[in-house]
Chains A and B, each alone.
Chain A
């Protein structure tokens, strides 16, 4: 058994951390989040060109560095520590992950563009009635004129305003198909809004949007297994991001409790607060370990992969809440203001809790999978 990172993975983390330390301080991030654009294409270009980082998780045949899910986890943990809003999850983990799964001409065409920072993707899968279900799809893709015609509505598309292309799930016949759609396609209308964590999302309506047949990922009507795997990859990446955020919240809390005095002594001398910080540490370390295990098992058979991904999301969901709430409590009123970074980490942790399934959702999925053949 070996939980050690490779030399290359350590280098990847150090390179990114040092870039973010120089270019992604909390004040700058706050100012950028408040602009109409809400993100920095320059940062994205740097990640692609200066750091060559968008290819870390892709095979060399597409121009990548030959890594995989673990590289994504390393990157996401650092992005979580710095509260980065740029769409690595949607573009590289989910978008690139889906293209890597299907391979062929689409992957050969689009992965190099993703790696070069030229294509920014968003995953349009959620619909008003779906809650967290990936299979609840009412948007339709009807075969016509050597392609498909899309009709329907997607909600809560994270990073939607920034995307050049969307990956859209749609019902065709009995099954679900997955299509790569240009964000400026005719018949597509987008309504953009800010999210609680400083990000952006869109609700998107498709009205007779034509998509050429070669933009279909995988076989028609057979995309659900692809999507389920992509969601589990997204879950592992989100867990890694949450671990990064939790590390920062714990570090900030320890620093604050050590210098802030009450009743003539540092807060950190009160046993009840010491226990709370011990609980934060305990929750965090288990989350970090389980996230690594889930990430390492992404290539296992679907049922095994899904089981541990759900375990990780449920564990991290509970832990992020515990760590975030305790961090705010120990900071007192300052924790709830917009002035300290902490509150913004807490908001991001809260948002992660409802991305790709809540704790309750994953506990149920875990129970369904683990008790399925228990007679």
Chain B
């Protein structure tokens, strides 16, 4: 066992650092300082992801044959750490880190040729159509119908919590193609062009306020939407299998580097906020203790991720580890955002810049605030979603309990 990086790995890290310094320009940084959820507006997001694609770094997890960079797990870890530490935008996962894997694993050759290059280059943006108004964590209860009509499916129903649907060129959805069998076996996995007639978008304003005038989530309505049968992934009725395969990518790993970025943000706030009574918050013993408690929790999840990444797996099921990381990672995101709000003290109260103000009917005269204060309270509100999406944390605990108890023969 050896935790030191090799000379080659250190050289790779330096290369990443040098590239970030040049590619993550001041305009992107300025946009990012106002971001409430780690994303930029669409133009900024596409600009950033295209830079990554030109360098060949847009899809660290992809196989080389589809344009992946052929990195070792350690290189992937270093890349994530460096981009997170620099506060770079999150790469939108719906295309690159989600549907692409399903296409690679279960798609036809034609689908691979049609979709993967444009996902990689960010020429086409994707959104995810899983949840429905009545089906959240109980995903298999979804109702959106797809009725076969010649070489098309006709879709009717509604999807909700669709992140950045207004940016998307394509959507991948779970639809019900049969109501005969048990809930899971009547589901198919379809790709739909967002410009197909019959698809409409309703923005869902959320508590944190939108990013630069664009809402994060939407509700979608499908009214007699005709999708060619050739856009179905794999076999009809096996969509649940593909969805479960995708879910482990959605829950994902690699929280550690993002959490370290949040810790750095808190330190920055604490250095600039007065403690009241003369000193700064960074020297306040109560703050230091709370910071240290959270930092130790981050160390623990980061260590577990490094170990997982490096392939030193102790026979633990991947599914269990993805539930573990989802659970502790999102709870830390929430707790860190909470400490950030408290670190601001009275400065947490002003509502931040809201360029969406007019259509939300909100007065558009925000208090001018420094960058380190911007977006802190909205992030706290935004992060309430993390324990809800991709299977609530209650569901993750059930899955973990089932894993832990399985050896005792107890069924969850």
Contacts and interface: CB of A to CB of B under 8 A. Distances in A.
Contacts of B393: 329
A96 interface: no
Interface string B277-314: 10001000011001000000000000000000000000
B365 interface: yes
A131 B137 CA distance: 41
Contacts of A363: 286
Contacts of B348: 196, 350-351, 354
A231 to B, nearest CB: 13
Interface in B11-33: none
B349 A339 contact: no
Given A192-B365, A332-B388, A360 B290 contact: yes
A51 to B, nearest CB: 28
Interface stretch (A122-130, A220-228, A291-299): A122-130
Interface residues of B, number: 55
A195 interface: yes
A328 B141 CA distance: 22
B131 A126 contact: no
Contact of A194 (B217, B347, B351, B385): B351
Nearest to A276: B394
Given A156-B349, A354-B349, A336 B160 contact: no
A262 B207 contact: no
A110 interface: no
A193 B365 contact: yes
Contacts of A332: 136-137, 388, 392
Given A31-B361, A193-B350, A273-B394, A339 B204 contact: yes
Contact of A360 (B205, B273, B342, B360): B342
Contact of B206 (A131, A273, A337, A353): A337
A337 B207 contact: yes
B276 interface: yes
Interface stretch (B56-64, B98-106, B376-384): B376-384
A250 B356 CA distance: 31
Contact of A133 (B137, B277, B392): B277
A354 B206 contact: no
Indicate the member of A128, A194, A346, A363 with the most B CB atoms within 10 Å.
Answer: A194
A372 interface: no
A5 interface: no
A262 B136 contact: yes
Indicate the member of B217, B351, B392 with the most A CB atoms within 10 Å.
Answer: B351
Interface size on A, as a range, is 35 or more
Contacts of A343: 206-207, 381
A203 B367 contact: yes
A252 interface: no
A204 B361 CA distance: 25
Contacts, number: 149
Contacts of B377: 196, 350
B346 A131 contact: yes
Contact of B204 (A130, A191, A337, A346): A337
B137 A262 contact: yes
Contacts of B384: 325, 328-329, 335-336, 346
A34 interface: yes
A336 B206 contact: yes
A26 interface: no
Contacts of A46: none
Nearest to A367: B286
A333 B350 contact: no
B350 A201 contact: yes
Nearest to A335: B384
> Which 10 pairs between the two chains have the least Cβ-Cβ distance?
A131-B276, A34-B361, A133-B276, A193-B367, A262-B138, A194-B351, A338-B205, A129-B274, A131-B345, A343-B207
28 contacts: A34-B362, A129-B274, A130-B276, A131-B274, A131-B276, A133-B277, A156-B350, A193-B351, A194-B351, A195-B350, A196-B351, A325-B334, A325-B384, A328-B384, A329-B384, A332-B136, A333-B131, A333-B385, A335-B384, A335-B388, A336-B381, A343-B206, A346-B384, A347-B207, A359-B342, A360-B286, A363-B286, A364-B286
Given A34-B360, A350-B380, 16 more contacts: A35-B361, A155-B346, A191-B367, A194-B351, A262-B137, A329-B384, A332-B392, A333-B160, A336-B388, A338-B360, A339-B204, A351-B348, A354-B345, A358-B342, A359-B342, A360-B286
